[in-house]
Amino acid sequence: MAADKKMARVGAPQAFASTNTFDWLFSNPLASPTEYPLESQRVPAVPDSRPIFVDNPSDRTLTYGRLRQDALALGAGLQALGLNPDNLITLPPTPTCSRPEIAPVVVIQLPNTLQFATVVLGTLAAGCTASLVSPALTAGEIAWVLQNSRPSVIIAAKSCMPAMQEAIKAQADQAFFAKVPVFSVDVAGDAYPQTSAAPPSDWKQLLVSRGNTLRKPIVADPALRAAVILWSSGTSGKSKGVLLSHHALNFSVASLWHDADFYQGQQQRFLGYVPFYHVFGLVNTFLLAVCAGATVYTMTAFKLDAMLASIPKRKITYLHMAPPIAVMLAKSPLVEPYEHRDAQGRNAFSTIAAAVTGGAPLGWEVIEKVYDRLGFRIRMGYGLTETCSTSMQRGLTAEEMRAQRGDTGHPHWGVEIMIAADASSASESTRAAAEGAEGEILIRSPCLMMGYLPTGGLAETSKPDMSVSLEALTPDGWFRTGDVGMIDKAGGLHITDRLKELIKVRGFQVAPAELEAILCASEDVADAGVIGIHDKDDQTELPRAFVVPAGKADGPEKLKELAHKLRVLVETHTARYKWLKGGIVFVDQIPKSPSGKILRRVLRDGVVKGVEVSVYEPQRRPSKL
């Protein structure tokens, strides 16, 4: 069944389809009385002096006017390097995009900093496509991104440069990558927006005018032009490049603002610790702040004590978080000094209207505890890299919170959700299930991805392989999420299971096949299977490996030695969130189907017995629950 009755409005807001994301963000798009009938929702023209991004530790400030000015300068600098926004790679059509276009790609590997804002928005201003990469990736993971996106320019944090250079050296097409300029950002030492002399490879060289002027890119239809490439893990074990158009980003941001109910007519103030290179942080915080005139206090990494101190100091109005942060707010003794209320019943959190969490499920007990302890509601949200924002709970009161227990909210404005009648058959994938029945969750909206980068990437080929996109999208434009759920009578979405095998670790996706390939590459491993186990204390999944040793590894000491050897193997090949924090279980055999597919449900259900070794010491926080 379709869960949204507002789809007639999807084509109404013509502004979303008329411009690229940079121009749209700086066009005061949230002032329309037609689209935002409540006066408290409408945003007056944002003054140039408004702080948009503020470095939380140092108070260095990037104002609205300076951000626009520097982004335009950086865009001109990129074009001066020879990046022509009209030099496009056109891909075969997908069910959601008749002609996917990719402009010259700029790979950006930065944490949440002021520089990130200027670099990303400058890339969009130049008409180029920004490929956003996590700073936590290893050289092997970066090499895959470079191989597939074939960037024209690379801009990365100085701390990421060793892995980036190693990834470049690993490329087969050395002739191509020898011509790719690489610029570094000294996150720790750069006092931007203060300016100073910079070495030739420093990113600020792109800000130097040299008489460069930005040539306005021609974007005939922003629904066809890729604005960003985000990287989402797949069941194949390799990350997939998700193509999101300018139109998708514009519509997603506008849809969020349309449905949010935390407005009180005041300027919004956010803490920016959710990674901006992740779709959650990119849409909900980074892009929304620019057009809403909100102020984001950026943090390169999350630290609970810094977050707690910043909330009353900055008078934060709304929080974005992954489930583990909600657990900290519910349980940590560090919160105690901030929870006490004055004679008027106010505490350090009283400026916060609400919070939203996404990326993984969050237990009801934690949500209720935070409300009782601190006085604001945490609302569940649902979305994927391929769909941007999909649904969110609404309402701020305890009554509304309890009424929505167990669901992940209603679809955002302009979003359709359907429960498929038969998730096992592609031909039946767009037939709706009976009301209240479970099935695969399908999503259709203007926020959907255009598709994935073709198999084999953007290397010159006459026939790009779009099979992965066609498997994920139905012929009539629905995205197959791989999640199983149902829609209740009130229209709330309930997620009950997952068809796909991805493990969600604190909002990041981990492909079991990737870890299995790494483990099985060891001469000490005969076979391996990886699943996610739920950690109740941290409210996240953790990767757990079931390993069949090669040869004899008898005795607990030998198994412990092998387990720690495998731990080091995984650590050297993957980002931290992929590490085997769920432990290693040594077994005699990995259960498989006749076709050879690992029976992960058998592993999850505890049917397979073995010797478990914890390769990481548990780090439990004291609990008040």
Residue 207: phi and psi, rounded to 5, are -90, -15
**Total-model pTM:** 0.87
568 vs 267: CA distance, rounded Å: 47
Q: What is the pLDDT, as a whole number, of residue 1?
A: 40
**Residues 565, 552: Cα–Cα separation, whole Å:** 15
Spans in the chain with pLDDT lower than 70 = 1-18, 209-211, 233-237, 423-429, 460-462, 553, 593-596, 619-625
Residue type, 371: Y
pLDDT in tens, 367-385: 999 999 999 999 999 999 9
pLDDT per position as a tens digit, 119-145: 999 999 999 999 999 999 999 999 999
Structure tokens that stand for 534 in this block: 């739920």
| Cα separation, 447 vs 459, whole angstroms | 27
Residue 173 contacts residue 145 (beta carbons within 8 Å): no
Q: Where are the beta strands (DSSP E) in 536-605?
A: 540-549, 584-586
Tell me how far CA of residue 62 lies from CA of 48, 161, 289, 290, 331, in angstroms.
10, 25, 12, 11, 35
> What is residue 573's predicted lDDT score, i.e. its pLDDT?
93
pLDDT of residue 125: 95
Which pLDDT value is given to residue 596? 67
Ranges assigned E (strand) in 433-555: 439-444, 451-452, 479-487, 493-498, 503-505, 508-510, 525-535, 540-549
pLDDT at 211: 63
Q: How far is CA 294 from the centre of its chain?
A: 20
SS3 category, 63:
strand
CA-based end-to-end distance of the chain: 39
